[in-house]
Every structure is written in structure tokens, then in C-alpha cells.
Structure 1
Amino acid sequence: MSNEPRFSVPGSHRTLPPRALRQGSVGEGETIEVTLRLRSRAAISPAAPAASGLAVTARELGAPLSREAFEAAHGADPDDLRRTEDFAHEHHLTVVESSAARRTVIVSGSLADLQAAFGVTLHRYTLDGQTFRGRSGDVSVPQELAGVIEGVFGLDDRPQARTHFRLASSGPAAIVAHAASVSFTPPELARAYNFPAGVDGHGQTIAIIELGGGYRKRDLDTYFHGLGLSTPRVSAVSVNGGRNAPTGDPGGPDGEVMLDIEVAGAVAPGARIVVYFAPNTDAGFLNAVTQATHDRLRAPSIMSISWGAAESAWTGQATQAMSSAFQDAAMMGISVFCAAGDNGSSDNGSDGGSTDEAGTDGVSGGPQHTDFPASSPWVTGCGGTRLTVQDGLPVSEVVWNNGPGNGATGGGVSDVFPLPGYQSGAGVPPSANPGGRVGRGVPDVSGVADPQTGYRVRVDGTDTVIGGTSAVAPLWAGLSALLNQALGRPVGFLNPQLYALAPVRGTAVRDIVTGNNGAYSAGPGWDACTGLGSPDGERLLAALGGAAGAGPPGPEEG
């Protein structure tokens, strides 16, 4: 075995943060789990179409596949699963789970055996008071599994993503005063955005992905009672040992969890909400997405994700595997909404492959980054605005940008994904980075995110106001539940439909034309700050084929 030819897994190269301090070797007897992502059986056929799907149209996507039909056509090949399991046993690893639908094999073993199996060396590092298990270089597999295993996740357990919410009280007093702070309940925003009446999301299941924190039912009961609503059905699913574990800190991940549940639940109180809790690692994030996508018991039709990081913080194998998982969701008619980030066009990114290096905050002078997973061409990226209402109706909506250090909507041009076909006529500009790359434009849609015109929620027994693009993803997820119920079918992957409607201004969204997020400015039509615009629920329903009235007039942008 020691002399067997080995091949690097494409995109598996990883670097360490420059400020990370090596603390020593890992305990080789320690046992951990590692996730292996396999190719689709469709990729084995020479006649199989390209899997990137970047030229997808609504017609090409076709009718949604059932989970059973998807597994039969696009799951892992049984022979690939067998060969992967044989490899695990040869290296003294235990197969914990093997899923053809998820194209996933999870193995466990000692760190000594795992390092030998995948040709890596692991060490302990500390960074900003956090300790993690890290690696650098490539992951390798034997020749017979080259091309079969598309990704190896979990060897390195550094934090992969961050939340995209901001507390209204977190900014300097001058910012708060300048903003003339106001706040909204989610039902008030649903009315302002003309969400469809007469539906409550009944029959729909919204999956929410969380990488930390938790919720308490008594807080949910208190919150929804205060809105005059019944508490939605909320359940928690453990992924890779993640669990509903409230920290007691409203400014920590509990703020994300409660915001997501309360916004989606207040907009669509008849929907079922399932929260998938996973560790904040690349393996945990991927497994939460695939578990939600292929969950036959709960069968989500919508997914909301408010965690992410600059594309530069991800390995190539991670962006490929995650985006492929979102493609799976699209093929099964699942709508996925992802927050576009809260740090302007720079996304606090770096070019060193780490979430831990701070970049500029909404300032165009440094390198620009889009946030992943919002930059996947298979999700609907959600940007942020500042909203002014009068008598419950919007009178002004502009790009959210409170200045350096105080938050601004993410958005820009992807460094990873090419321009998808549905954006070919949207006018996505060249990247603001040197070279002017033309790629996937982010976001696709928007909604109120400025914490000074934020969402009234309850977290850890405290009533507070929260903003950030974290709130926009569950807002659109709740709207999607209403649309699905009203239409009697899932709207599914929304982007091709939205961009097809875009040439008729005001058909389904409210165009935002004022403001910037650093390197990019808003303007008529799609832009890299607010995408196509904020929702007009009734008009969107009508455009998608449902019966709806014209609704209230749009705001005077600016």
C-alpha cells in the first residue's frame, strides 16, 4: 500500500492563515469523522452533459425530480460506493454512513490512519484564541479512486463560515443617530413588500442551515404570541454531532438562529421549519446542505442559509461540492436562498484562504470578494437595502451601506464561477479587481437589511433589533413558502424565472437605483448591490402564474 500511485484531489489544496501559531502535532490516537463526496453516476457516462449547469434555463432544468428519481439518475454509482468502502477498510477506517443519494461516504478512524489514508499531515494551531486542527497542501487518494472521490472534508476543522447579521445597537452612536433608527416586525415587512394574502405557507417545509447556537421554545412562544400568531412547528435535526445548543449570548450564533426562525416563521406561520444544526466546518456545512436536500422524511421545498465567507476562504473542492449540492436541490425543485454578506464589496475577504484575515469593509480600494455560498449559480443570493415606509408602505429604498466598519451589503462578481446563462442579458459588469473578470454576479435579489431599519426579534429572552443580509434569506424563504402554496407547486430554482421577468421593469421586484456597497453602485436593472431588487410578492405571484392583484405602487427609489 505504501508504494501505490496516489493522485491529488482537485481543488483540495489548502493554506494556513499567516497569523496561525502551530502548537504541536495532533494526538494520533484521536478518532474523528471525515466526509468523502463522490462523483455522480451521470458523470461516468461519456455522453453525460456537463455538470456545471451554468447555461441553465428554466426549460432546460425541466420538471422537478422526486428524491427517489434523483437518486436513481444522479446519485453515486454502487460500484463507486463499494470501492470507496473497500479503501476505507484497507486503511483501518470505519464506514459510519454511506449514501448514494447524497453521494457521501462518512468514515471514522484514528488521526494516524486518516493521515496515512489521505496523504496529509495535521497539526494543532491557535488563532485569535481559537484552537483548530489544520493542514496545508493537497489531499491525495489511490489511483483507483482518482476522479471517484471529488472531495475530502473534515480533516481540517477550522471555522469555515460566519454569520451575516448585525445588531442595531452595535454601531457607533453617530451612526445610530444619523440613521434615524426604526424597526419592523416581519409581518409589517410582509405587508410593505406586498406579500400574497390569503396564504400562510401551509404544506411547505423550510430548511434552515445553522452552524452553531440554538433556540429555546419559550422564546419562540413569547415572540409569536406577541405578534398574534401561533408558534410555527419547529424541529431540530443533528448533523455530524451539531445540535440545538443556545449559548445565552444574543450577539452570538443564537442571534442568527432566532432571527432565521422568527423571520421565516412570522412571514409563513403555516409552514413547518426544520433547523439542521452542524459544526462550523467545511464538512459540517456540506453535510447539513446535503442532508436537508435529500431528507425524504421532512422533504423541504425551501432552504435558507445565512452563513458564509468570502470565496477566498474556501477550497476549490468545497465550492465545487457545495455548488453541486445546490444543483441537486434545484433539480428537485428546492428553492435555496443565501445571504450575500454584510461587509460591502470586499466581504472582509482575503486572498490567503482563511476567514480569519480581515479585509476592507465596503471600501473599493482593496481586493473585492463575493460571499459563498451566495455566489453559487444554483442559489438565489440575497443582498441588503435600507427601507423607509409611510403608512405601512415603502416610500424609499436604497442600498444598505452605513460606511466602513458599520456594515454594507455584500455583492460583486465571482472569482470562482463563470457568468451563468440566466444572467447573460443582465448587464453584469466586469469585476472591479485587476483583470476585470466577467463572472457570476451577486446578489440576485434584495430586501431590508440595514440594522437601523431592522427586524424586531427575540433572542435569549431579550427583545432586540437585528439586521444584515442574514435576515433577507429567511424573508425570501418565507415568501417562497407563500408562493408555493398559492401556486400549488414549488417555484423551485427561482433565478431563471426572475431574470426572464427582469426586462419588464416592476413586474416582480422593486428596482433599487441609489447607493453603493464600495466598488459597485446601484442603477436601473440588475446591479452588484441589490441584484434585481426587493420583492413585490403579489406581482411576483402573478408573474409566476398565480392569481394576484396589482398591489400598491412601488417606492420612489432614492
Structure 2
Amino acid sequence: MFDRRTAVRVVGCSLATSLVAGVAVLISDHRSDSSPSPAVTIAGPYANLLASSTDLGPSQLDHAQLTVGLRGPTRPDPLLRWADTKGLDVRWQPGEDWAIVEGAPPVVAEAFDVPVHDYRGMQGQVFYASPQQPEVPAAVRNTVSDLGRILGYTPHREARPDHIPLDVPGQGLTPTALLTAYNANPLTEAGITGKGQTIVFFAFSGYDQGDLDDFAEMSGLPPLKPVLVGGQPSESRAETVMDLEVAHAIAPDARMVVVNARPTLEGGRTYERIAEMFDATNKQFPGAVWSLSIGWGCDALITATDLKPVQSALERAHRNGTSAFDASGDTGGLECKGGENWSSPPGPDDVGLDAVSSLPGMTSVGGTTLSTDEDGQWLAEQAWIDSPLSQGTSGGVSKLFPRPTWQRRLSIERDSGKKQRRLTPDVSALADPFTGIRIRFDQQDLVGAGTSQAAPVWAGLTALMNQYLLANGGQRLGDVNPLLYRVAAGANAPGFRDVTLGGSAVDVAVPGYDLATGLGSPNVAQLARDFLDIQKGMAPR
């Protein structure tokens, strides 16, 4: 277990033990055997963030840090010695290929030969940042492969559309219709209800228990009483309420857990804190299904090195049987729009992905417009886009990660060069606010919406499939992405409904995989059988 291993911390010349969370990832256009380039000014959304903030001069804060990628998982002694001579601290977890270098901002600035200033953002937040990407110091080039950003603020979001229809008590899919639409009824009719499974929601906002009680009663479901970890994140908002109610509609006997993710936004060490949160959740709820409808910045703001701690934590959770689903976003593929964080005219800089959702270990969930008959029977689906409201499903080509092995069969025109990149989303489900799921919030009947609805749909359905697999001699799905793409490449039954209409602001849906809806939406009963066939060695090769 991760929490039983030893971390090394260097402070001056002393060694001490410390527990840190960790992760691993390689930035696809940083080659470990290439010569480092000089420090250069960072362009794109990062520059937009700093340009829209007030430069307060050299940082007066008490702390700055950056993540460094290592060339291997062995103890980085040259880095430790170099940091000691520079007056910096290093935190490294044995077995990891990353470390954290930290110290007073002037010391960090001198050691890496880049300016580190304080900035006041458009929302009044004060943070440190360097406008330049530092190079790897010559003394540690044989140990350090690449560097993350020197940035003490991470723009964050809840993946929800700006408009949710009100006063529609007679509309929206009921739990029965939702299960029917995605062909989960064969499982539920056989007694598969999520019993024995746990679904964890990472949230920036809280919930009102009265809304959950009303939803369960009006839907004829068992009581919905989540386990709360870390206290209520903030005031009740539709986001967390919707996540819980959507998953409960699908898997009413699963245990629901809400983890307060707000502490990840504090202290300028966001991605390390996310990893710590993931590790703590993995320890407390091993083998759970995770659902995220929140985001911590677009992939153009950071490097893959910054995300190393998160990827490693995901991999540890996968080994315990956890599957993780993250909303791809609701900006139609323009996840690098600054919103309240920076102002800029629409342009190519807006095109990007939610950084955490694009991790190879995360299943990115896009959104669709779903059509059913009056009984909930599936009729059609298309990629969700609402141009007048500037919202819709997000996805695209990663700026950070190479193409995973399980995506290498795909042919995507926008990624047809030599740099084969990670593609998102992986899958999709209903997200259009005019064809969504009936929920209860603030004592009103609403219709759920956004890829933040699609992610808990997949989480709930995965809880059902896990129970089915365990009941039939299989095992929890764990890292589900390789399995999803294996089913899509050929299975005993079609596990997906291909979405070929619609698109995002950047891409269009086409037959097969596309950057708007991924592999498509689930045909659950058949997908569950396909997974079982794979686990029992009965699937096509």
C-alpha cells in the first residue's frame, strides 16, 4: 500500500521521512534523450492568464514549487545534492519517477534562472507564477528529464452547462426510462442494483439532504443518504445533487460517497493534493467507481510532468479495482477558454482539453442528445451541441500525452502526423439539458444536463456491471479504458451505440470513434457480457 512506503525529504543536509502522494506521466513532446531548450516565455492560455492578472513584482509569498520528471524510479541523488547546494527542499517517493522541488520564491527563481512574481487574478486571488518555462539545470540532466510549471494557481470548474431548464415536472427521463434507454434493464431485472458497490463523487459544492430525500421518494427508490468525507464542500448546488441522483437512479443499492475536493485548490500544490485525495479515497474505499464532474484547468496551462502525481495515484487505485470517469467538459471542445480567469477574443488558444480528464488512466465522458420513445426505448443519439448558448460536448487531441496502446488502431485526421496523441472522449452519454434526467434540486423538479450528467451515468452503469461480473465469476473492471477499446475493436455482441451525427465546436461525429462522442454510448447488457467474455478468455482476439 502506498501509505506504508517511505518518502525522502531533503531539507538542507538532513534526511527525514514523509508521506506524499504521487503520479507519473511523460509529456509527449519532451523527449528524455533530447537536449534541454533555453527558458522561453510560455504562450497560449498560460500567457492569457498572466496578462489578465496584475503583476505585483517579485514574489513575497513564503513558498513556491514545481514538479520534476525523473529518468527512472531510483533515488535521485544528484537532484538531492543539487537542491541542497541551492537551498531547496526535495520530496520524493521511492519507486516514483517524479519529485517535488520547493523553496522560497526568490530561491526557486535563482536556482532555475527564471523570474517568479506574484500576480493578482481577475477574481482577486494572489498567486505566484513564472512567465517562463525553466530548463533542466545542467547539473541534473542525467537525472531529471523534464520540469513542470512554476504556477501557484489552477483555474477550476464544475462541468455543467450555463442553462438548466426549470419547471419541467412532466419531463426528463425517469430512472426506469434511463435504464431502458441504455439497455440496462436485463441486469436490473436479474436483481443487479449496485448492491455491494461504492460510487465516489469528488465535488467542489455540497448538497441538501432534503433534495435527495424528495428525489428518492418521488422516484420510488430506496433512501439516498451519502457518506460525506471532509465536510460539505460549500453551499448546495445542482452539480453534486445531480451527480448523486443520477447515479442513484441507476444503481439504487450502491453506497454513495461525496469527497470534498475544495482543499485541492488551496496552497498552490493542486495536482499533488489531488493525488493525496485520490490515495486517501483509494485506501478508504478500495475498488469503488469514481465520478468527477469538476476540472482543474486545461491541458495548455501545464505540462505532463505536473500531472505525474495524479496519474500515479490513479494507477494505484486501478490496482484495487477502481474505475474512474471524468466529464470531458461543456464548452464544445474549447476547454481553454478563460471564463472568469482571463479575457481574450475567441481563437485557436481556446481549443483544448480538461487536463485531468485527458489523463490516460481516466475515462473521459462526452455528451449526447438522446431520443427515446415514451417508454424510454432508445431511438437515436447525436453529439450534443448548443451553438447559441456556446456549449456542448468537449473532446479533442491531447497536448500532453502520447497515444495509449489501446487507442493506436484509431485513425483521426486531426492527429494524423508522427506525434500520435491521446484522444478524448473515450465514451459518451446523454448531456443535452433538453433530453436529460429528471432530478430534484432546491425543491424544484429539473432536468439534468451536461457531461457532468454523463459521467455519473457511466459511473452508475459501471457499478451495475461490476456487480454482474462478480456474480458471474468475473472481477471488477478497474482500469476500464483498455477493455472499452477492445470491445469496440470486436466483441461477441455490440457493446456501444455508435453516434454519427452532430459534433462539437471543433469536431464532428463520424462512424466509429470520433472526438465528439468517443466510442459512443453504452448498450449495457451487451457490454457487461462482453467484459465477462474478456475476463473469461472467451472474447474474439
TM-score grouping bracket, smaller chain normalisation: 0.7 to 0.9
1:271 to 251, 255, 264: 255
Cα–Cα, structure 1 residues 214 and 141, in superposed 2: closer, same or farther, change >3 Å?
farther
Give the deviation of 1:443 after TM superposition: 1.3
2:436 to 446, 451, 454: 454
Match of residue 222 from structure 2: 229
Secondary structure (helix, strand or coil) at the match of 2:284 reads coil
Percent pairwise identity? 27
Match of residue 466 from structure 1: 448
Match of residue 191 from structure 1: 180
In 1: Cα distance, 2:382 partner to 2:224 partner: 33
In 2: Cα distance, 1:478 partner to 1:452 partner: 21
**2:58–2:117 Cα contact (<8 Å) kept:** yes
User: Counterpart amino acid of 1:375?
Assistant: S
Residues 397-439 of structure 1 show CA distances to partners (whole Å, capped at 9, x for unaligned) of 111111153311112223333332222323333349xx79643
Match of residue 200 from structure 1: 193
User: Counterpart amino acid of 2:333?
Assistant: S
User: What's the Cα RMSD here?
Assistant: 4.3
Cα–Cα, structure 1 residues 130 and 438, in superposed 2: closer, same or farther, change >3 Å?
same
Match of residue 337 from structure 1: 325
Secondary structure (helix, strand or coil) at the match of 1:157 reads coil
Secondary structure (helix, strand or coil) at the match of 1:312 reads coil
Match of residue 56 from structure 1: none
Instruction: Indicate yes or no: 2:422 matched with 1:430.
Output: no
Cα–Cα, structure 1 residues 356 and 436, in superposed 2: closer, same or farther, change >3 Å?
farther
Give the deviation of 1:475 after TM superposition: 1.4
In 2: Cα distance, 1:356 partner to 1:386 partner: 30
Instruction: Indicate yes or no: 2:15 matched with 1:20.
Output: no
**2:264–2:271 Cα contact (<8 Å) kept:** yes
Match of residue 487 from structure 2: 501
Match of residue 125 from structure 1: 119
Cα–Cα, structure 1 residues 327 and 22, in superposed 2: closer, same or farther, change >3 Å?
same
User: Counterpart amino acid of 1:129?
Assistant: Q
Instruction: Indicate yes or no: 2:427 matched with 1:445.
Output: yes
User: Counterpart amino acid of 2:452?
Assistant: S
Give the deviation of 1:456 after TM superposition: 3.1
User: Counterpart amino acid of 1:471?
Assistant: Q
Cα–Cα, structure 1 residues 131 and 367, in superposed 2: closer, same or farther, change >3 Å?
closer
Match of residue 306 from structure 2: 318
In 2: Cα distance, 1:10 partner to 1:101 partner: 29
Match of residue 26 from structure 2: none
**1:37–1:321 Cα contact (<8 Å) kept:** no
User: Counterpart amino acid of 1:480?
Assistant: T
Cα–Cα, structure 1 residues 369 and 357, in superposed 2: closer, same or farther, change >3 Å?
farther
Match of residue 356 from structure 1: 342
Give the deviation of 1:33 after TM superposition: 7.8
In 2: Cα distance, 1:189 partner to 1:288 partner: 32
In 2: Cα distance, 1:150 partner to 1:214 partner: 40
In 1: Cα distance, 2:427 partner to 2:39 partner: 30
Secondary structure (helix, strand or coil) at the match of 1:396 reads strand
User: Counterpart amino acid of 2:218?
Assistant: G
Cα–Cα, structure 1 residues 414 and 201, in superposed 2: closer, same or farther, change >3 Å?
same
Secondary structure (helix, strand or coil) at the match of 2:357 reads coil
Match of residue 537 from structure 2: none
Cα–Cα, structure 1 residues 430 and 109, in superposed 2: closer, same or farther, change >3 Å?
closer
Give the deviation of 1:220 after TM superposition: 3.2
Give the deviation of 1:369 after TM superposition: 2.8
Match of residue 553 from structure 1: none
Match of residue 29 from structure 2: none
Give the deviation of 1:516 after TM superposition: 1.8
**1:151–1:321 Cα contact (<8 Å) kept:** no
Residues 341-364 of structure 1 show CA distances to partners (whole Å, capped at 9, x for unaligned) of 2122333548xxx97356759xxx
Instruction: Indicate yes or no: 2:165 matched with 1:165.
Output: no
User: Counterpart amino acid of 2:249?
Assistant: A
Match of residue 16 from structure 2: none
In 2: Cα distance, 1:199 partner to 1:160 partner: 40
In 2: Cα distance, 1:407 partner to 1:541 partner: 32
Match of residue 25 from structure 2: none
Give the deviation of 1:510 after TM superposition: 1.1
Cα–Cα, structure 1 residues 393 and 431, in superposed 2: closer, same or farther, change >3 Å?
same
Give the deviation of 1:114 after TM superposition: 5.9
Give the deviation of 1:480 after TM superposition: 1.4
Cα–Cα, structure 1 residues 106 and 420, in superposed 2: closer, same or farther, change >3 Å?
closer
In 2: Cα distance, 1:266 partner to 1:92 partner: 51
Match of residue 303 from structure 1: 290
Match of residue 59 from structure 1: none
Secondary structure (helix, strand or coil) at the match of 1:336 reads strand
In 2: Cα distance, 1:159 partner to 1:469 partner: 21
Give the deviation of 1:304 after TM superposition: 2.0
Residues 42-81 of structure 1 show CA distances to partners (whole Å, capped at 9, x for unaligned) of x63xxxxxxxxxxxxxxxxxxxxxxxxxxxxxxx65x459
User: Counterpart amino acid of 2:527?
Assistant: L
Residues 61-104 of structure 1 show CA distances to partners (whole Å, capped at 9, x for unaligned) of xxxxxxxxxxxxxxx65x459985995898486x9x97658888
Give the deviation of 1:124 after TM superposition: 3.2
Instruction: Indicate yes or no: 2:388 matched with 1:395.
Output: no
Give the deviation of 1:23 after TM superposition: 4.7
Match of residue 62 from structure 1: none
**1:347–1:359 Cα contact (<8 Å) kept:** no
Cα–Cα, structure 1 residues 167 and 202, in superposed 2: closer, same or farther, change >3 Å?
farther
**1:205–1:271 Cα contact (<8 Å) kept:** yes
Cα–Cα, structure 1 residues 424 and 108, in superposed 2: closer, same or farther, change >3 Å?
closer
In 2: Cα distance, 1:476 partner to 1:461 partner: 26
Q: TM-score, normalised by structure 1?
A: 0.71
2:521 to 534, 543, 546: 534
**2:148–2:302 Cα contact (<8 Å) kept:** no
Q: TM-score, normalised by structure 2?
A: 0.73
Secondary structure (helix, strand or coil) at the match of 2:387 reads coil
